[in-house]
Amino acid sequence: MHIIGAGPGDPELLTVKAKRIIDLSDVIIYADSLVNPEVFQDSRADKIIKTSTMNIDEINETVKKYYDDGKEIARLHSGDPSVYGAINDEMQFFRENGMEFEIIPGISSVFAAAASLGLELTAPGTTQSVILTRVPRRTEHFEKEDLELLAEHKTSLAIFLSASNARKVSEKLINAGYSPEDRAIIAYRVSWPDEKMIMSTIGNLEHAMFENRINRQALIMVGGNISYYSNKKSYLYNPDFTHLFRKSSKKD
């Protein structure tokens, strides 16, 4: 049994290992609202199951049924399953029932977005960190991880699952010290054929979402090298810098 990161959408962004396992699986169980069905178009699977209308108990019992039948199962999540993949409940169920499984990582939409934008998320002189976060649901309380607190670092921020809360995102970022005019990027359906990379400002996020009719499947990217581009050169390849594998070419 495999829990597989199906990547952001483009089937060519599957890892080689994920592709091999998917193609050899008997059963595909996938998040059909997020995963591109083209990622398993070459699979020999004779059972394809969509999960958008199922709750976690139904999903787990379905996996167990085919697991007990000795079938090779590929449970597909979008992006990388370790980032908002909601796999904890699945893994707990599998362990409680003695079901062996392997997690296959995938490419997260945040890294696919950076590639599409031609953007380095960390850059000398700007930021050395990237924060992946979201605006919590009403029932969730993460006071120490509030967006306003995280944004104070001014490092690169990738804000997931918050497109419908764009106004709140703007408010929290401005309260953290950002200017309404600072650049923000809305990365919609990254690597899909209808991908959109919308250049906006922090103060204009809600309007940009409304104007482009976006309320889901979008990342909000701000801070660090996203909002404050740096052209400072990296020390790693600087000819004047010595490291373990290369001596400086600078003459004394």
What tens-digit pLDDT sequence spans the chain (252 residues)?
Answer: 999 999 999 999 999 999 999 999 999 999 999 999 999 999 999 999 999 999 999 999 999 999 999 999 999 999 999 999 889 999 999 999 999 999 999 999 999 999 999 999 998 878 899 999 998 766 567 788 899 999 999 999 999 999 999 999 999 999 999 999 999 999 999 999 999 999 999 999 999 999 999 999 999 999 998 988 655 444 445 454 444 455 556 555
Is-same-fold flag (2-104; 109-227)? no
The CATH number of the domain covering residues in 109-227: 3.30.950.10
* DSSP assignment letter at 172: H
pTM score above 0.75: yes
The CATH number of the domain covering residues in 2-104: 3.40.1010.10
38 neighbors 11 (Cβ within 8 angstroms):
yes
CA distance linking residue 40 with residue 44, whole number of Å: 9
Q: Where are the domains of the chain?
A: 2-104, 109-227
- In 3D, which of 43, 47, 44, 35 has the Cα closest to residue 9? 35
Q: Six-digit token pair at 117?
A: 């934008």
CA distance linking residue 217 with residue 117, whole number of Å: 17
25 neighbors 73 (Cβ within 8 angstroms):
yes
